[in-house]
Amino acid sequence: MLKKTLDISSSPHIYKGRSTNEIMKNVVWALLPVVFFSVYSFGLNALLVIATATFASVLTEHVLCRLSKKETTIGDYSAVITGLLLGLTLPPSFPLWMAFIGGIIGIALGKYIFGGLGYNVFNPALVARAVLQAAFPVAITTWHPAFLTDRFSSIASSVFTLPFMEPKFDVISGATPLSAFKFDGVTTSTAELAFGQVSGSAGETCAVIIILGGIYLIARNMMNWRIPAAVLLSAFVLSGILYSINSELYPSPWFMLFSGGLMLGAVFMATDMVSSPITPIGLWIYGGIIGILTIVIRVWGGLSEGVMYSILLANAISPHIDSIIKNRVYGTKRKIKTA
Amino acid sequence: MSDDKQKVTSTDEFIKGLWRDNPVFVQVLGMCPTLAVSNTAENALAMGLATAFVLLMSNILVSLLRNFVPKQVRIASYILIIATFVTVTDYAIQAISVELHKSLGAFISLIVVNCLILSRAEAFASKNTIGKSILDALGMGLGFTLALFCLGAVREILGNGSIFNMPIFSEGFQSWIVMILPAGGFFTLALWLLIINALQTRKAKS
């Protein structure tokens, strides 16, 4: 029988036939090489930290859905991505109980409190990391050296710290290229940075693998290329200008581009679909703000790394970016210039 | 029904400030001291009691003078009354413990602008008898103290591993620095609001 009523629905009316689920799954595929490299370079420590953060995120999502009597949404992989990203931004010898709390905070405070997937103002993984950074500043800035010979047989003592207890870090700890530069004035060669021969957060060390993951997502049209392009370009240009002014004081733009979490942030965090603008020009502005703020924090700020805060700040203003550059609707009045 | 509503028992006047109309958790009044000095249980308790004292005294005086103060200058006279008692409290705390006075800092003087006190003066004491005003002030004051203590206890336990400066964890507790910072105040307040709201919604449903 023919339906008598007319269904009224809002746009979009044409679908690509692609679900959130599928896109998220592909992001997970793109992240897996990063995870593998992280485990390869940091050993069991990184594996445990990433697994714990992911498990906590998925568990929290499930429990919160149950508590609010909704169907569980862990099947859409978004919680997995949040957990993976959080794990990848933590130092490899991070205590597991802190990583677990991070996972809970990311989903509960970063996502679910706003209404779940599609409503979060900030990138959930970065919310979690920001809280962890504020709560445990020592643990989150104690880095583990990469490529230790016993990395697949032994686990750092700090990883299995009892819940709520202060971690005791091993004596040997590595400095990240950024902190080495900021506090000791030592630069690391770009080749070492690009292929992940350095210390740092679990997943930020190998720039090449991250770029490959990004290219895969862009090629499948699941990520907007403008964001990483804008972030990297603006960071490169600003640090290039600084380098040309005084190459003694400021590091080279290539160092800035490949060190720290800039690559991971530009490719996997800033591109979070929910918390970034939707208009093409807006995306350029958004990415530009992230890149410039990152360099500003790195060069003049008190911290050695600024990607996290710059992405969170840009997340906060992304709806405003869209509303500022909104096109004039045809037929409406032009803004009258007040001369 | 309407008869019931008019006959509010005196216990009701007292209880409402503690729970149903709790100044912090329900009315969300007086946020400045709530967020600023609830970093330890001791500070929170001192601040709560100081505010409760000022509230009680100002409610009494406002209620006594309610038929003498002209309507046009009532706010100014309330502020004057409140400020007097704040000054008394300020000196009293300084005399009792200089250390506490130091850690509360400017927030003692800022009790003057705590909108909880002014709102009780304007909305309750200026319209009710002195007996009711005393009960109202006691309820609201203790409710405020209770709320501040709830916040301060959570923040001190997580941020310092202690309560009233007595460590409650064994050696090697990892303190959550963020809880001592202003951001921790917002987190804890939001957490308590969430819990209280959930409880009250459940109560309203059943």
- pLDDT of A32 reads 92
Residue listed under structure tokens 């507790």: B173
Helix axes A78-89, A20-42, angle to 10 degrees: 30
- Confirm whether A266 is domain-assigned: yes
Query: What is the residue range of B18's domain?
Result: 2-154
Mean pLDDT of chain A: 86
**Among A residues 157-186, those touching chain B with beta carbons less than 8 Å apart:** 161, 164-167
- Say whether both A136 and A273 belong to one domain: no
CA dihedral A105, A19, A265, A197 (to 10 degrees): 100
B179, closest residue in chain A (CA to CA): A135
Chain A nearest-CA distance from B145, in A, is 27
A163 domain residue, yes or no: yes
B76 domain residue, yes or no: yes
Distance CA B189, CA A285 (A): 35
- With CB atoms and an 8 Å threshold, state whether B177 touches A167: no
Which of B65, B57, B52, B55 lies closest to B128, judged by CA? Answer: B65
Torsion of CA A78, A84, A85, A89, to 10 degrees: 160
In this structure, the answer to whether residues A121 and A144 fall within a common structural domain is yes
pLDDT digit string, tens, across residues B131-146? 999 999 999 999 999 9
Per-residue pLDDT averaged across A286-294, rounded?
94
A131 touches chain B (CB under 8 A): yes
Domain end call among A173, A191, A217: A173
Pairwise CB contact (< 8 Å): A136 & B177: yes
Q: How far is A227 from chain B (nearest CA, A)?
A: 30
Minimal-distance CA residue of chain A relative to B176: A135
Note whether residue B167 is domain-resident.
no
pLDDT over 90 at A314, yes or no = yes
Mean pLDDT of chain B: 88
Min mean pLDDT across A57-66, A139-148, A212-221 is at A139-148
Model confidence over A1-57: pLDDT tens digits? 556 666 677 776 766 667 788 888 889 999 999 999 999 988 888 999 999 999 999
A63 assigned to some structural domain = yes
Closest CA to A124 of A112, A105, A150, A106: A106
Report yes or no on A309 lying in a domain: yes
pLDDT of residue A176: 81
* Bridge partners for A165 per DSSP: B173
Distance from CA of B108 to the nearest CA of A (A): 28
Whether residue A32 sits in one domain with residue A168: yes
Q: d(Cα B111, Cα B32) in Å, to the nearest integer?
A: 9
How many other C-beta atoms can be found within 10 angstroms of the C-beta atom of residue A192?
14
Q: Please give the residue of chain A at the shortest CA–CA distance from B182.
A: A134
Interface test with A, best of B169, B174, B188 (most A CBs within 10 A): B174
Contacts of B162 in chain A (CB under 8 A): none
User: In the prediction, which pLDDT does A233 show?
Assistant: 95
Three-state SS at A143: strand
The predicted pLDDT at position B7 comes to: 57
Last residue of a domain, one of A131, A151, A173: A173
Nearest residue on chain A to B181, alpha-carbon basis: A134
List pLDDT tens digits, range B145-190. Answer: 999 999 999 999 988 888 888 888 777 788 888 888 888 999 999 9
Residue A279 is given by DSSP the state S
Q: Are A226 and A284 in contact (CB under 8 A)?
A: yes
Q: Which residues of A touch B183 (CB under 8 A)?
A: 134
| B67 in any annotated domain | yes
- On whether both A234 and A115 belong to a single domain, the answer is no
pLDDT tens, residue by residue, B27-77: 888 888 888 888 889 999 999 999 999 999 999 999 999 999 998 999 999
Domain count within chain A: 2
Instruction: Please indicate whether residue A301 or residue B138 has the higher confidence score (pLDDT).
Output: B138
Element (H, E) at A87: helix A78-89
Shortest Cα–Cα distance, A231 to chain B (Å)? 29
Please state, for a pLDDT cut of 90, what percent of chain A lies above it. Answer: 40
- A172 pLDDT band (50/70/90 cuts)? low
Contacts of A95 in chain B (CB under 8 A): 174
In a domain, B201, yes or no: no
Report pLDDT for A174. Answer: 67
Kindly state the average pLDDT of the residues A120-134. Answer: 92
pLDDT for the residue numbered B91: 94
Nearest to B172 among A131, A134, A166 (CB): A166
Say if residue A84 is in the same domain as residue A186.
no
Mutate to test the interface with B, among A164, A165, A166, A168 (most CBs of B within 10 A): A164
Residues of A in contact with B173 (CB under 8 A): 164-166
A94 inside 8 A of chain B by CB: no
Chain A residues touching B172 at Cβ < 8 A: 165-166
Higher pLDDT, B67 or A155: B67
Cβ of A164 within 8 Å of Cβ of B174? The answer is yes
Separation in Å, CA of A173 to nearest CA in chain B: 20
- Residue B134's closest CA among B67, B79, B62? B62
Predicted confidence at residue A34, as pLDDT, reads 93
Read off the pLDDT of each residue in A269-277 and give the average, rounded to a whole number: 88
Whether residue B57 is contained in a domain is answered as yes
C-beta separation of A316 from A277 below 8 A? no
Q: Are residues A111 and A183 in the same domain?
A: no
Tell me: do A25 and A159 sit in the same domain.
yes
- How close does chain B come to A65, measured CA to CA in Å? 16
Q: Model confidence at A336, in pLDDT bands (50, 70, 90)?
A: low
Indicate the pTM of the whole model.
0.84
Domain of residue A277: give its range. 178-323
Nearest chain B Cα distance for residue A238, angstroms: 32
- The answer to whether residues A89 and A140 belong to one domain is yes
Answer whether residue B25 shows pLDDT above 70: yes
Q: Please check whether residue A6 lies inside any domain of the structure.
A: no
Question: Which of these three, A120, A155, A173, is where a domain ends?
Answer: A173
Residues A169 and A188 in one domain: no
Do residue A194 and residue A119 come from a single domain? Answer: no
**Range name among A193-197, A213-217, A222-226, B3-7 with the lowest pLDDT average:** B3-7
Q: How many domains does chain B have?
A: 1
- Residue B99 confidence (pLDDT) above 50: yes
- pLDDT tens track for A42-99: 888 899 999 999 999 999 999 999 888 888 888 888 899 999 999 999 998 899 999 9
Residues A137 and A282 grouped into a single domain: no
Q: Nearest residue of B to residue A108 by CA position?
A: B191
Q: Are residues A268 and A296 in the same domain?
A: yes
- Report CB contact under 8 Å: B177, A164: no
Q: What residue in A sits closest to B157 (Cα-Cα)? A: A164
